[in-house]
Amino acid sequence: MKNQKIILNRLLNKYENSKHLLNPGTSLRRVMLKVEKKDFPEYIYEDAVIRDAYNEAALELEKKHLVQLKWVKGRPVLSAIVLRLDQISQCYAFAERMHPKVRASQIIQLIDGGLKDVAIPWIIAWKVDVCRSAAEQLKIPVFCKTDDTPLQDLLCAFREYSALSGSITMRAFSSKCFSDTKYFERNVRDLFLRIARKYDADLANSCDENELGEREQLAYLGIYARPELYELAGNCLVRTEQGTICIGAAPYGLALPSTLIDSITAIDLTAIQCITFIENKTNYDEYVMSEKQPGELVIYHGGFLSPQKRKMVTLIAHAAAKGAKVRFWADIDAGGFRMFDNLQKLISSVLPMRMSGELVEKFYEHGLMRSKEYLSELEADLKSGRYLLFKDAIEKILSYGVTIEQETFLN
C-alpha cells in the first residue's frame, strides 16, 4: 500500500501542475512518470527487490483502473506509469488526498463565512484576492493548504480587529481573540502583519519610509505591545477626567502616553499662536532647546500616525485658535511629502516648513543620492499633479538627483 501511494501521489503532483487541473480536456499530453527521466527516483530497476516491489504496486494500481503501465520491451522493467484522468476522483480517494477544487471551495467558504461582517478595507482586499485565486486558479495560501487551524486563527484575529473601537494592547487583544494573552504573538502576529503590509498601502509606505519593526507596525494598526509616548513642548494645558497637565511647566516638554488620549476632555491652546510638527527626533530635540518661541507648541511627529496619535493630532487641531499657524517639517523627499499629505488630512491648514526647492539648492552637496527608479517615480508624481506644494522642491531634487535629510540642517 505504501508504494502504491508513493506512485499515485507523485502522479497527482504532476497532475496539479498541468493544464488538466484548471482546463480539463484542453491538453493531449498525458500525466505520467517516466522512469528514464528520473520522474520516479524511488524505482531503482537495477535492484531486483526494489524493482519488483514497485512493479507489484504499479500492477495493483492498474487493476484498480487508476493507472496504465508501459514496460521496457522484453524486460520486467517499467518505462512509464500513466495516470488515468478518467478516474481522477478515485485516484484522489485512494491516495486519501483532497482534490484542489474541493480544498479551494472549502477555503472560500471558510473565509466568506468568517469575514462576512468585517469592513476593514485591507482585510476585504485580502479576502477578495484570496477567494478569487482559489476560485479561478485553485490557488490557496501555503499556510492553510492542509490545516484549517492557522486560517481559523487568522480569521478570528481579523474579526476581533474589525470590531475594535479604539486601540488595545497586544496581550489584551490576544486574550480577546484566543483566551490566551500570548497566543497571538506566538502563532498569528507574523501572518497578520505580513497580510497587513501587503494590502494596507499606508502601512506599507510607513514601513518603507521609517523601517518600522513589528511592534511599530502593530502600533500603526492600533495594537500596542506597550503604550506609545507622544512628545510635545509649549505653553498648553491638557485636561483629563482626573485633572490638568501643564505642558509648559516642563521647559523642554513632556511625553504623554497613548493610554492617556482617550481620557483627555480638552486641550487649552489659548497661549499658542504657532503649532510645529517635526518628524525627526534629533531635530525635534534641538529645535525645542534652541528655536522654540514662547507662543509655539512643538510636537514630535515620529514619521507615522498611529490611531491614537491621530486622535491626539485631531484634538490639537480642534483646540487651535482660528488663524494659528500650523507647520510640518520633515526630510525633503517622497516620504516627507507623503507624511505632509497624511497630516493635511487631519489639519487642512498645515503648511510645509523648511522643505522648499531653495533649501535643496542650498544643501544639495550634502544630499542623499537617489536611484533612477526613485527619481522616475517622483517625476511621475510631479506630472500627475501630486505634491503641488512641493513642486519647486521636486524639480530641484530631479535636477541634482538628491534628497535632503533633516539632519543636514543640524550641520
Across the range 75-90, mean pLDDT stands at 92
> Burial level of 1, CB count in 10 A (0-12/13-18/19+)?
exposed
Any idea which of 143-152, 191-200, 221-230, 323-332 has the lowest mean pLDDT? 221-230
**279 within 8 A of 331, measured Cβ to Cβ:** yes
C-alpha cell at 63: 487493476
Confidence of residue 98 (pLDDT cuts 50, 70, 90): confident
Helix (H) or strand (E) holding 199: helix 189-199
User: What's the whole-number average pLDDT of the chain?
Assistant: 92
Look up cell 498601502; give the residue: 201
pLDDT in tens, 152-196: 999 999 999 999 887 888 999 999 999 999 999 999 999 999 999
Model-level pTM greater than 0.75?
A: no
CA-based Rg of the chain, rounded to a whole angstrom? 31
Q: What's residue 189's pLDDT? A: 96
**DSSP secondary structure code for residue 355 in this structure:** -
For 190, 200, 209, 292, 400, the CA distances from 194, given in Å and listed in that order, are 6, 10, 17, 40, 36
Q: What is the pLDDT of residue 145?
A: 85
| Cα first-last separation, the chain | 76
For residue 362, the Cα-to-chain-centroid distance in whole angstroms is 37
The model's pLDDT over 21-55, given as tens digits with 9 standing for 90+, comes to 877 877 888 999 998 777 888 888 888 999 999 99
Parse the chain into domains and list their residue ranges.
Answer: 2-94, 100-224, 231-410
Q: What is the pLDDT of residue 411?
A: 74
Instruction: State how far the Cα of 299 lies from the Cα of 281, in Å rounded to an integer.
Output: 10
**Share of residues in the chain with pLDDT > 70 (%):** 100
Q: Using an 8 Å Cβ cutoff, are 189 and 154 in contact?
A: no
Contact 359, 333 (CB under 8 A): no
Please provide the size of the chain in residues: 411
CATH of 231-410, one of 3.40.50.1980, 3.40.640.10, 3.40.109.10, 3.40.1360.10: 3.40.1360.10
What pLDDT, on a 0 to 100 scale, did the predictor assign at position 341? Answer: 92
Which residue in 267, 251, 391, 383 sits closest to 318, CA to CA?
Answer: 267
Could you identify the residue written with the cell 502563532? Answer: 187
| Sheet order of strands, 32-34 included | 32-34, 78-83, 67-71
One-letter amino acid of 294: P
Average pLDDT estimate for 310-329:
94
Based on the number of CB atoms within 10 Å of its own CB, is 409 exposed (0-12), middle (13-18) or buried (19 or more)? middle
Burial of 319: CB neighbours in 10 Å, binned 0-12, 13-18, 19+: buried
pLDDT at residue 303 is higher than 90: no
Residue 404 carries which DSSP code?
B
Query: Which of 359 and 321 is assigned the larger pLDDT?
Result: 359
